[in-house]
Amino acid sequence: DFRFSSQISHLALDIGGTLIKLVYFSSNGDHCEESRDGTSIVVRNNGGSVLQGKLCFAKFETRKIDDCLEFIRFNILHHSGDQHQNGTACDKLTVKATGGGAFKFADLFKEKLGIVFDKEDEMHCLVGGANFLLKTVPREAFTYLDGQKEFVEIDHNDLYPYLLVNIGSGVSMIKVDGDGEYERISGTSLGGGTFLGLGKLLTKCKSFDELLELSHHGNNRVIDMLVGDIYGGTDYSKIGLSSTAIASSFGKAISDGKELEDYQPEDVARSLLRMISNNIGQIAYLNALRFDLKRIFFGGFFIRGLEYTMDTISVAVHFWSRGEAKAMFLTHEGFLGALGAFASYNK
Ligand code: ADP
């Protein structure tokens, strides 16, 4: 049924509100874009797998979907005889697709590339992708605390239950009890889209990378109201709050008598990143507590392996759980849904 270029078979897409994620399989790895965000995964023919080669990753902004269509046309579909002159696939081509865009853009892919989506459920794919990574990819999960990244050995017999927190445009929190056994128990609309959207409005920056770069150079204490600001520099030790704990995100802006223009965009970006990460860490912890889950895995493209984000989330989980629960991150964080869709070829 497939008519991919000779070395590439299998393509899965996760078309989200902000980003399109692609996972495809290349038998020799030549067509693999060694992407900035996800490293390729080598698949060997052991354990009964019929595939041997590399899993490759790519991402595009959903608003620039034409770039994605071009990438698929030139890198993944046949270059030669099996393609019509207008670049569409000759035969009916089945591609796995998940995310809201699998519905929204189904006609576009059919019309432009001759691709018919085989749609997979979004939550099912997220969980499938996380389980696939945790079970098959060594050095996938890690903790990040006090500037130290430590890989976590996953015991396959003691993986479940866990809490999966996917931070995309919005945030989903899913209790995972096994393969295909899961329940979406919570979520929040204050996610990566909020960070990017508010960040663009407040700092006038144009892209996520620019906003991250800004936040990297900022100081949140310029704009966040700290416990010490209220207590005159001392801790509120009776309830365990240090003077540097944030009492109110963006709270200083009330009393500073400053306008937005008076703040450095770097500091605004930093406060915003801290606010969103802290909030997600805290909601995740509360949900872990609700179901007595000790392990929380964080995924989604919001994280982007950024130390400051991971540190903030880890500290929030550690602080609220008094060290009982553990925040863990995934090397292929942004590709859970796409990997889950890919894994569904084996159904
Ligand atoms: P979705 O499936 O909802 O698009 P993702 O897991 O792809 O979710 O994450 C999208 C979020 O990732 C954005 O809201 C933004 O915070 C962050 N992000 C990371 N890299 C980028 C990028 N290059 N462009 C836009 N957003 C990005």
Asked whether 208 lines ligand 1 (CB < 6 A), one says: yes
Per-domain residue ranges of the chain: 8-122+336-346, 192-223+263-330
**Token pair belonging to 131:** 């389980």
pLDDT tens figures, 149-202:
999 999 989 999 999 999 999 999 999 999 999 999 999 999 999 999 999 999
Nearest residue (CA) to ligand 1, atom 5: 168
Nearest to 274 by CA among 314, 220, 341: 220
* Residues whose CB falls within 8 Å of the CB of residue 174, separated by 6 or more in sequence, listed in order: 123, 126, 127, 163, 164, 165, 166, 182, 183, 184, 185
Decide whether any atom of ligand 1 lies within 6 Å of the 300 Cβ.
yes
Domain 8-122+336-346 architecture: 2-Layer Sandwich (3.30)
User: Does ligand 1 lie within 6 Å of residue 301's CB atom?
Assistant: yes
CATH of 192-223+263-330, one of 3.30.420.40, 3.10.450.30, 3.30.450.20, 1.10.3720.10: 3.30.420.40
List Cβ<8 Å contacts ≥24 apart for 149-158. Answer: 152/328
pTM for the whole structure: 0.91
106-147 pLDDT, tens digit per residue, is 999 999 999 999 999 999 999 999 999 999 998 999 999 889
- Sign (positive/negative) of CA torsion 29, 152, 274, 99? positive
Two structure tokens written together for 314? 């880890």
Ligand 1 within 6 A of 302 CB? yes
- Nearest protein Cα to ligand 1, atom 8: 168
Per DSSP, the residues of 36-69 read SS---EEE-S-TT----EEEEEEEEEGGGHHHHH
Q: Would you call 181 helix, strand, or coil by DSSP?
A: strand
Whole-angstrom distance, CA of residue 227 vs CA of residue 268:
19
Neighbours of 206 (CB within 10 A): 9
User: Can you give the C-alpha Rg of the chain in angstroms?
Assistant: 22
Query: Is the confidence metric ipTM above 0.85 for this complex?
Result: yes
